[in-house]
Homo-oligomer: A and B are copies of this chain.
Amino acid sequence: MTIKEIYELSKKQDKSIEGKEVTIKGLVRGNRFMGNVGFILLNDGSCFSSLQIVYSSTDKKAQAIRMGCSISVKGKIHLTPEAKQIVELESMKIDLISDVEEDYVLQKQRMSFEYLREIPQWRVRTNTFNALFRIRSTLSYYIHEYFHKNGYLWIHTPIITGNDCEGEGQVFDVLASGDKVGESKYFNSPNPHLTVSGQLHVEPFALAYQKVYTFGPTFRAEKSNTTRHAAEFWMIEPEIAFADLDTLCKIEEEFLKYVVKNTIQDCEDDINVFASFIDKNLKTKLNDFLTKSFEFVEYSDCINLLKKAQKEGVKFENNDIDFGLDLNSEHEKYLTEVVFKKPIFLRNMPKDIKAFYMKLNDDNKTVQAVDLLTPGIGELCGGSVREDNYDLLLKRIKELKMPLESYKWYLDLRKNGSMPHAGFGLGFERLVMLVTGIDNIRDTQPYPRNYRNMLF
């Protein structure tokens, strides 16, 4: 029996477990001896809550057990509906499995997140990170469940690739022994590198199955250290045939609400940790996210709103507000937190600030792109309808001086049994940040990888 099961039955006041003998193994979260009786908090990882073990004053071995040890406890369950904790385990026998060293790092005192980042192998045993990685796993599961239930296929797009989707060039090269940068003998390829996006590779599958998605690691070799960017992160990229911009937005909203709603239902105790210690407004924010309709806003209208704010005296750091501006996070913040007070779909952006594959509008200036901006987080998803016109796509690739030969396979998709399609990309860690209120991406990953930072 797990501690999770014991709590679930106790909440229902299921009398059948009263007096039941069980053996629970796990890590000690605390040990208090009160003179005639002692209490150990035991956590088996099945849920956030620890189980209170009650031992008698005669058990000298139990008194000596320190925080962090692993133990095995045989005992009897007692329902205690009137007490602070609704159930406890009366110890019959406690065995030490593994002690801790004198200098074991996780002592009672609070440690900063910065310090804990240096010990990823231990921080999962602290309350915050124990809750965090349970939430991360649960979010991941519901992402797959949403897509599966809705008829999407998961396509494992490649990690090592010769194509650079965003055309940015900030990529990690991949070398086998004997290879040189720019000449991989191993792959017979000039530039094998780590993928920045699975989108181009998933598109042929969208034409065959109409609803597909990727969920895998992606990489950026940016030499900067921000709280929102990582060198390695996971991305979700659905691609949907026959979706227009409105449909795409509706799917994004439905998908995100499904995943967040199910996760916070399953992880109530974990969310409470963040609502108590990280962001006092977390529950209100999450409730807003789930209950308010996301707003559809045109990019050009946003520029006007920002100009109006400027005239009314709002000070931005970047005051060059005009058509063509790639919104800074201060502008996103103003729009989502001051003007709309909810997530907004920012639509139809200038083509010059967007990727080559986005569908050109008839105005010849904007593309059918949509960024989902949310209060607190900023950009959560970026998506677009894809350019399905062969000639326009070819023209754009040439304008941007991209290596045509590398994109021939992609272009040809527009000539043979093509269809209109659209998709978006969601940086998974941004979603973890949204749900937990954690404000540094390094605290959302088991082993963060950043500029100048890689442990193990």
Chain A residues at the B interface, C-beta cutoff of 8 Å: 2, 4, 25-28, 44-46, 68-70, 97-101, 104, 120-122, 124-125, 130, 133-134, 136-137, 140-141, 144-145, 148, 151, 153-163, 172-177, 181, 186-189, 192, 194, 200-201, 204-205, 207-211, 216-217, 219, 221, 223, 231-232, 234, 241-242, 388, 406, 409-410, 412-419, 445-447, 449, 451-456
**From B46, B187, B232, contact of A454 by CB (8 A):** B187
Q: How many of these chains are in the complex?
A: 2
Residue among A172, A177, A189 with most chain B CB within 10 A: A172
* Residue ID in chain B nearest A26 by CB atoms: B210
Contacts of A234 on B, CB cut-off 8 Å? 156
Q: Contacts A137-B155, A151-B4, A159-B232: A124 and B449 contacting too (C-beta < 8 A)?
A: no
Contacts of A163 on B, CB cut-off 8 Å? 456
Q: A175 and B176: CB pair below 8 A?
A: no
Q: Contacts A137-B154, A155-B137, A204-B121: A416 and B100 contacting too (C-beta < 8 A)?
A: yes
Q: B456 and A162: CB pair below 8 A?
A: yes
Q: B181 and A175: CB pair below 8 A?
A: yes
* Residue ID in chain B nearest A214 by CB atoms: B446
Q: A100 and B137: CB pair below 8 A?
A: no
Q: Contacts A207-B27, A446-B156: A418 and B98 contacting too (C-beta < 8 A)?
A: yes
Q: Contacts A188-B454, A192-B454, A445-B156: A204 and B172 contacting too (C-beta < 8 A)?
A: no
* Residue ID in chain B nearest A456 by CB atoms: B163
Q: Contacts A151-B2, A174-B194, A221-B176: A417 and B125 contacting too (C-beta < 8 A)?
A: yes
